[in-house]
């Protein structure tokens, strides 16, 4: 299960609420919950070591154990490095929920191994900004859906008034009949723009299921030419597609394989932060189901 990182002024409350929902009881009262939370001091390595020992064993009452950790920006470097091993190899009986108020102060290696969950305040602020920029309600809903938890990318729509729905239709039509090589080229070109990146990305990922191995290798090489940013964006789009669209688009792909692949793509962002070779990483992740 991919760890979740709640971010924003309401992150702690959201993380604890998620834990309570999953446990069926307040985490403070559950034997299957572990709260590694600090209000003032840093979160040190001793507390993470205790968490790792606790996580070895299965739950007592709930379907799984739940660990709530935060603020993530207060993890010492030693504690964060110890936590990384747990986040990379989470037992099937454990759910890890982190929270932070300042995402930029969370170590990239921790941040990249988690699915970001922006709390209600952030999307509401973005929607208000889009409204002030002149967008209609249907456009705001579309942009919000497009951005998902990456609300920081709303800047692409605030610098100037755009026509997002028509732009999406045009970009989707342009990408629909392109070859894998052409999709890779277009995707790399549009990485800075969330709308066109998503339009090209979903077609690019969808095409993986029918691409030959040599085509996938060429895709990885093409993306790597544009650096880590293009490979990281590809991993993001792959993970998103596997979670949201693959159940319908690839009905023959077993759900356990699909979710394991999504986890592989998500963890790949952390490997990039650890200076993994971008081309080799893209190859490994894109070809993973064929080699597993």
pLDDT of residue 193: 93
Residue 17 pLDDT level (bands cut at 50, 70, 90): confident
pLDDT, tens only, 196-217: 999 999 999 999 988 999 999 9
pLDDT, tens only, 122-175: 567 678 878 988 999 999 999 988 887 666 677 788 878 999 999 999 999 999
Residue 281 has pLDDT above 90, yes or no: yes
Whole-angstrom CA distances from 233 to 85, 177, 194 are: 24, 21, 10
Mean of pLDDT over the chain: 89
| 3-class state of residue 263 by DSSP | helix
pLDDT of residue 120: 57
Whole-angstrom CA distances from 155 to 112, 130, 258 are: 21, 10, 32
Neighbours of 244 (CB within 10 A): 13
Range of lowest pLDDT (25-29, 41-45, 75-79, 90-94): 25-29
Helix (H) / strand (E) element for 35: namely strand 33-37
Provide the CATH topology of domain 4-119: Rossmann fold (3.40.50)
Alpha carbon distance 231, 63 (integer Å): 36
Higher pLDDT, 20 or 49: 49
Residue 273 pLDDT level (bands cut at 50, 70, 90): low
* Structural domain spans, the chain: 4-119, 122-158, 164-291
53: Cβ contacts below 8 Å, ≥ 6 apart: none
Sheet holding 94-100, edge to edge: 33-37, 65-70, 94-100, 4-7, 115-118
Whole-angstrom CA distances from 202 to 76, 169, 206, 218, 245 are: 38, 13, 6, 18, 9
């Amino acid at each position: 299960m991919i760890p979740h990182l709640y971010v924003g002024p309401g992150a702690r409350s959201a993380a604890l609420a998620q834990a309570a929902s999953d446990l069926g009881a307040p985490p403070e009262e559950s034997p299957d919950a572990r709260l590694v939370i600090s209000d003032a001091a840093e979160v040190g390595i001793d507390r993470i070591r205790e968490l790792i020992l606790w996580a070895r064993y299965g739950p007592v009452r709930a379907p799984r154990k739940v660990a709530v950790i935060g603020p993530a920006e207060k993890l010492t470097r030693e504690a964060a490095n110890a936590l990384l091993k747990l986040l990379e190899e989470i037992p099937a009986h454990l759910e890890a929920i982190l929270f932070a108020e300042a995402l930029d102060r969370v170590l990239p290696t921790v941040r990249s191994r988690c699915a970001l969950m922006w709390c209600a305040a952030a999307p509401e602020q973005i929607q208000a900004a889009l409204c002030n920029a002149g967008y209609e309600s249907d456009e705001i809903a579309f942009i919000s859906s497009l951005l998902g938890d990456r609300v920081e990318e709303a800047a692409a729509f605030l610098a100037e008034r755009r026509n997002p729905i028509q732009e999406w239709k045009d970009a989707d039509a342009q990408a629909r009949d392109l070859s894998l090589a052409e999709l890779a080229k277009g995707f790399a070109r549009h990485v800075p723009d969330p709308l066109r990146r998503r339009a090209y990305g979903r077609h690019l990922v969808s095409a993986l299921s029918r691409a030959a191995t040599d085509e996938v290798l060429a895709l990885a090489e093409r993306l790597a030419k544009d650096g880590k940013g293009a490979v990281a964006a590809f991993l993001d789009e792959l993970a998103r597609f596997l979670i949201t669209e693959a159940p319908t688009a690839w009905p023959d792909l077993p759900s356990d394989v699909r979710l394991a692949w999504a986890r592989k793509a998500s963890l790949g962002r952390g490997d990039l932060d650890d200076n993994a070779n971008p081309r080799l990483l893209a190859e490994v992740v894109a070809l993973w189901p064929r080699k597993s």
